[in-house]
């Protein structure tokens, strides 16, 4: 495929769409920001893209719950179009608020063993600290499913959220998510070890920082890869510039590479 086209969904309160568009273009895609209302009016617009991204921010002010209003728009007006998008082999990425949206719309974790997992089975709720957490964290890619990530690789990305704790309805759901590779990213320390706060900045169950679906072509994560696409964006870049890589850009590059090789 000569040109990889990505759509970045916009809505009131979203504030990371420009950075996300920039990251996609750095990775080699042609990106376009389009308001969710335009897509609801003409769902066929999605046919012209191979990657759909729900970026971070505070969609509709998170007035009901984080990502809930945008999730309801997708669930009630675009769910079939989104499922068609995914089932046709295309990619979906949800970042921070976008991760919350994908989970609450029922697109993540999606179908497990052919059974759709509802938003009541998995959700994202308030940080254990009871406050907004804005810091850099280490992550490890733990799923062999997800095309956006390289399993076993440890990366560093910034977080900025008040509701990032992944929780499950019951132990059966938790066991399925972990045993079948739907947990895509976990919070770790710089040496790859698990830990309590601040290593796990929100108290997320099993230190889960991101989820994928059965196809591996849908990823939702709380950290912000679009905020680390250049080494100079790291707060310690002058000290680590010779050994540091901009870990965020790799997620977008993997997506573009997959599209070029498979669609």
Active site residue 16: no
Judged by DSSP in three states, 141 sits in strand
Catalytic one of 161, 226, 234, 253: 226
Closest CA to 204 of 111, 133, 106, 120: 133
Q: Do 129 and 197 meet the contact criterion of CB atoms below 8 Å apart?
A: yes
Catalytic one of 96, 133, 140, 146: 96
Catalytic one of 140, 163, 224, 253: 224
DSSP string over 64-114: SSTTHHHHHHIIIIIHHHHHHHHHTT-EEEEETHHHHHHHHTT-SS-EETT
How many angstroms separate the CA atoms of 220 and 236, rounded? Answer: 27
Closest CA to 226 of 96, 134, 105: 96
Active site residue 77: no
Active site residue 96: yes
Active site residues: 96, 224, 226
């Amino acid at each position: 495929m000569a040109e990889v086209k990505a759509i970045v969904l916009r809505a009131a309160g979203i504030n990371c769409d420009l950075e996300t568009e920039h990251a996609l273009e750095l990775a080699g895609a042609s990106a376009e920001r389009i308001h969710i209302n335009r897509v609801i009016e003409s769902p066929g617009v999605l046919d012209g893209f191979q990657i759909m991204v729900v970026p971070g921010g505070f969609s509709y002010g998170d007035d009901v719950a984080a990502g809930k209003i945008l999730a309801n728009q997708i669930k009630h007006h675009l769910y079939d179009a989104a499922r068609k998008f995914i089932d046709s082999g295309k990619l979906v990425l949800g970042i921070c608020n976008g991760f919350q949206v994908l989970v609450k719309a029922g697109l993540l974790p999606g179908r497990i063993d052919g059974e759709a997992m509802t938003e009541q089975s998995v959700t994202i709720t308030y940080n254990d600290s009871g406050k907004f957490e804005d810091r850099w964290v280490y992550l490890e890619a733990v799923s062999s499913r997800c095309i956006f990530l390289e399993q076993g690789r440890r990366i560093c990305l910034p977080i900025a959220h008040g509701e990032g704790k992944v929780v499950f309805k019951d132990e059966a759901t938790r066991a399925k998510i972990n045993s079948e590779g739907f947990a895509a990213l976990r919070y770790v320390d710089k040496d790859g070890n698990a830990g309590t706060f601040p290593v796990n900045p929100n108290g997320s169950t099993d230190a889960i920082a991101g989820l994928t679906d059965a196809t591996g072509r849908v990823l939702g994560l709380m950290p912000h890869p679009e905020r680390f696409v250049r080494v100079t964006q790291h707060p310690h870049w002058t000290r680590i510039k010779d050994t540091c890589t901009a870990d965020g850009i790799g997620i977008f590059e993997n997506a573009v590479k997959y599209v070029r090789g498979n669609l």
